[in-house]
Amino acid sequence: MATTNLNISVIDKRMMKQSEAASYSGLPVKHFKAACPVRPVELKEGTLLWDRKDIDLWIDDVKSGAMTETRDDILGRL
């Protein structure tokens, strides 16, 4: 009988596209765009990516009841 070894290495993505970040947060993209105050990073020209760690901090703030501002809140004060 033949024996086979399988080595799998999984690397968690830190930077995510908008659709991935929305899915990660459990929100539809349109709700993510409206609710998420996390600013994307442009690592490559024309490519916006969201940092998983920043999204985690935002979710932790929401869970703790800390004030998080949406883009509309910020624009409303201007």
* Domain spans in the chain, listed from the N-terminal domain onward: 15-74
d(CA 44, CA 39): 15
d(CA 34, CA 44): 24
pLDDT tens sequence across 14-46: 999 999 999 999 999 999 999 999 999 999 999
Average pLDDT of the residues of the chain? 89
Question: Could you tell me the pLDDT band of residue 78, with boundaries at 50, 70 and 90?
Answer: low
